[in-house]
Chains A and B, each alone.
Chain A
Amino acid sequence: MTAVIEAHGLGKRYRGRWALEECTLSIPAGRVVGLVGPNGAGKSTLLNLACGQLTPTTGSIRVLGHQPGTGPGQLARVGFVAQDTPVYAGLSVADHLRFGARMNPAWDHEAAHRRIERLGLDPQQKAGRLSGGQRAQLALALAAAKQPELLLLDEPVAALDPLARRSFLHGLTEFAAEREGRTIVLSSHVIADLERVCDYLLLISGARVRLAGPCEDLIAEHYRIVGPRRAASALPPHLSVVQEDHTDHQSAFLVRTTEPLPEGNWQAERPDLEDLVLAYLDRDRQTHNSHDLEGLR
C-alpha cells in the first residue's frame, strides 16, 4: 500500500519549545484517520506541516510523494480545513463557491452546489452571519469540491453542537465514499467525535506520536484483563503493560500483544477505542509526572 503521509524524524520548534518531536509515521491511502491527543499535543502542528502551512525544523515529511505545499499541483491534491474554519466574513456563500471555482482547476461545481443546497444555506447570505456549524459546512464544501486526494481537517467539530457535529461528520463520510482511495485526516481532542467515522488512529501526546494503526488492528492487539492482585512483572513476558490499576484484592491491566492471549486466572475483554486512547494518555501523564518527581529530588 502506498503511503499518503510519510514522516521521518519530523520536528517543529516554536519559540524555543518543541511542538512536535521525532515524529516518524506512515499513513496508508484510503483511510479516515482520527488524529487524537490532548490540547497542545502537536496535532495542529502535524496537520499544518502536512499541508505546507508550516515548514519542519528537523526531519522530513512527504505528502502524496512530494514535499507539502510546493507548487499548484501539490496544493490541488491536498485539501485543508484550518482550525476555526476561516471564511471571508464579507463574502456571500455564493461568492465563496465562485472563489473556489476560480482558485481550483478541478473544481466540482455540481457537488459544491448540491452540498450547499442540501444544507439549506442561502447562497446570498454573508459568511460572517453563518452559525459555527454552517461555517464549518461551508469550509468543508469548499475543500471537498476541490476534489483533493487527501483532506486534512484541524479540529473541525470542536465548536459545533452535537447535531451540527453529526451532520458535519456525515458530510465527511460522504466525501470519503464518493471516490475510492480518498484519505481524510481529522483531528480532535475528543475521541468520541471520531470513533464513528475513523478507521485509523493516530495518537499524539506531549509532541510525540504514541500510537498509530488501523483501529481494528489496535483493538485486536489490546486486552483489558482483571484478576487477583499481582504485580505487572508476574504477567507473561510477551504482554506489554500499557496501564495498570490496583485495589487491595484486584489488579486490572491494559496489555498489548500481537500473539493470542494465554489462558490465565483472569477475565479478559476487548477495550474500545476510547479505552485505548485514555489508557495511553494516562500512561503518558504518569511517566511525565514521575519525571517531574525525579526532577524534584
Chain B
Amino acid sequence: MIWVTWRQFRTQAIAGAIALAAAAIYLLVLGLNIHNDYDRSLAGCIATGCAPGLVSGFADKYSTVVMLTDLALMTVPGLLGAFWGAPLISGELAAGTHRLAWHQSVTRSRWLTVKLLTIGLGAVTLTGLLDLPMSWGASQYDTVKAARFSALVFGARGIVPLSYAAFAFTLGTATGVLLRRPVAAMGLTLALFAAVQFTVPTALRPNYLPARTADIRLDATTLSHADGIIQNGSSLVIDGISLPDAWVISAGHALGSAGQPPSAEKINTCLMPGQFDGTITCLARQDLHVTATYQPNTRYWPFQLIEAALYTAMTAALAGFCFFWIRRRTT
C-alpha cells in the first residue's frame, strides 16, 4: 500500500522535492548573509551597547527580505494543501479509479490511512525542512528586532508551521473528498486556509491566555518607538506602542498621572507638526501614561504549543471527516 501511494504520488513528490531544494538553497544563502553581516557589524558591540544607528541599520537592511521570505513561507502549507492534499482523493473520485482501488484486498480505511499518513508526514517534513534554515538564518535578526509575536514571524518559526502543514494537507484532502473535483477542491482549500490563517492570528491568538494589563509611561523612549500620535480634542492615542519583552495587544487613550484625560490645551501646545523630536520631548514632560493589555514574551513557547495543538485538533477533525465520508457516503 505504501508503494502504491508512492507510485501514484511520485510526480508531485519530485516536484515538491525540487521546489524544496531550491528554496532551501535560497534560505541558506540568505542565512549566511545575515550571519556574516551580523558578525562583522554587531557581534562585537551588542553586549556592551552598539551605536544606535548600527542596530537599526542592520534591522532595516534585512526587514524587507525577511518579511517577504516569511510571507512566502506562510504560503507553503496552503500550497501543499492545494497541490498535495486536494487532488489526493478527488483525483481518484473524478477519474473513477476509486472503483478499482477499493476492490483490492485493502479496506477503504486502510487505503486512506496510508495515504494520509505517508503524504501528510511528507508535507510536514517539507515544511519543517524550510522552517529550520529560516529559523537559523534569521535568528540574529529576530533577536535584534525582538518581534517574535508579530503575525508573520510567529507563523514562520518554531513548531506552528508544522501544524499548519498538517492542517492544510488534511483540509485539502477533506475538500477533495467532499467536492470530488480536484480543481474546485484546490480553490476551496486555498480560500479556506487563507481565511483560517487570517482569523487565528487576529481573533484567537491574542486570547490563548488571559492578557496582562500594564500602565505604560509615555516617556521619550516609548514615544520615539511609536508609529504615530493621533490627537482629537483631549483624546490622545499613541499608535504602535511597544513594551520591552511583550506583545502589546491594545492600548487605551493617554491619561494624566491621576487618571484624568490630559487637557486639550496642553496637548495642542506640544503638537508641532514636522517636529517629531520636539513633540516627543514636550509630551514626555506631561507625565502621561496609557493602559495597555499585553502578552509577555515568556509566553512565546506556550503560545506556540497552544496554536500547534489547535491546528492539530482541526487536523484530526478533518481526518475523521474524511474517514466517515469515505466509508459511509462515497460511492
- Please report A residues at the B interface, Cβ cutoff 8 Å: 48, 51, 53-55, 69, 71-73, 75-76, 78-80, 82-84, 86-91, 95, 98-100, 102-106, 139, 142-143, 146
* Contact A51:B105 (CB < 8 A) given known A86-B95, A88-B97, A98-B7: no
B331 adjacent to A53 (CB under 8 Å): yes
Q: Give the shortest distance, in Å, between A271 (CB) and chain B (any CB).
A: 36
Contact partner, A98, options B3, B11, B99, B105, Cβ 8 Å: B3
A51 adjacent to B107 (CB under 8 Å): no
| B8 contact set on A, CB distance < 8 A | 88, 90-91
Contact partner, A75, options B11, B95, B97, B103, Cβ 8 Å: B103
A89 adjacent to B95 (CB under 8 Å): yes
Can you show 18 pairs from A to B with CB atoms below 8 A apart?
A51-B103, A53-B331, A55-B328, A72-B107, A72-B110, A73-B105, A80-B103, A82-B99, A86-B95, A88-B8, A88-B97, A90-B8, A91-B7, A95-B7, A103-B1, A103-B4, A105-B105, A146-B104
> C-beta contact mask, B157-171 vs A, less than 8 Å → 1, else 0?
000000000000000
B96 at the interface (CB under 8 A from A): yes
A86 adjacent to B97 (CB under 8 Å): yes
Contact partner, A103, options B11, B99, B104, Cβ 8 Å: B104
B105 adjacent to A75 (CB under 8 Å): yes
* Chain B residue at smallest Cβ distance from A91: B7
B100 at the interface (CB under 8 A from A): yes
Q: Which of A51, A99, A139, A143 has the most B CB atoms < 10 Å from its CB? A: A99
- Rounded to whole angstroms, the CA-CA distance of A287 and B182 in the bound complex is 45
B residues 77-109 near A (Cβ < 8 Å) are 95-97, 99-107
> C-beta contact mask, B102-123 vs A, less than 8 Å → 1, else 0?
1111110010000000000000
- Rounded to whole angstroms, the CA-CA distance of A54 and B330 in the bound complex is 8
- Please report B residues at the A interface, Cβ cutoff 8 Å: 1, 3-4, 7-8, 11, 95-97, 99-107, 110, 328, 331
| B106 contact set on A, CB distance < 8 A | 72, 75, 103
| A82 contact set on B, CB distance < 8 A | 96, 99-100, 103
A80 adjacent to B4 (CB under 8 Å): no
- Rounded to whole angstroms, the CA-CA distance of A102 and B110 in the bound complex is 13
| B95 contact set on A, CB distance < 8 A | 86, 88-89
- Rounded to whole angstroms, the CA-CA distance of A252 and B103 in the bound complex is 47
* Contact A84:B96 (CB < 8 A) given known A53-B102, A95-B7, A103-B106: yes
A78 adjacent to B103 (CB under 8 Å): yes
B103 adjacent to A100 (CB under 8 Å): no
B105 adjacent to A99 (CB under 8 Å): no
B99 adjacent to A99 (CB under 8 Å): no
A76 adjacent to B7 (CB under 8 Å): no
A102 adjacent to B97 (CB under 8 Å): no
Q: Give the shortest distance, in Å, between B64 (CB) and chain A (any CB).
A: 42
- Knowing that A72-B110, A84-B96 touch, tell me 19 more A-B residue pairs with CB under 8 angstroms: A53-B102, A53-B103, A72-B105, A75-B106, A76-B105, A80-B103, A82-B99, A82-B103, A86-B97, A87-B100, A88-B95, A90-B8, A90-B11, A98-B3, A99-B4, A99-B7, A102-B3, A139-B100, A142-B100
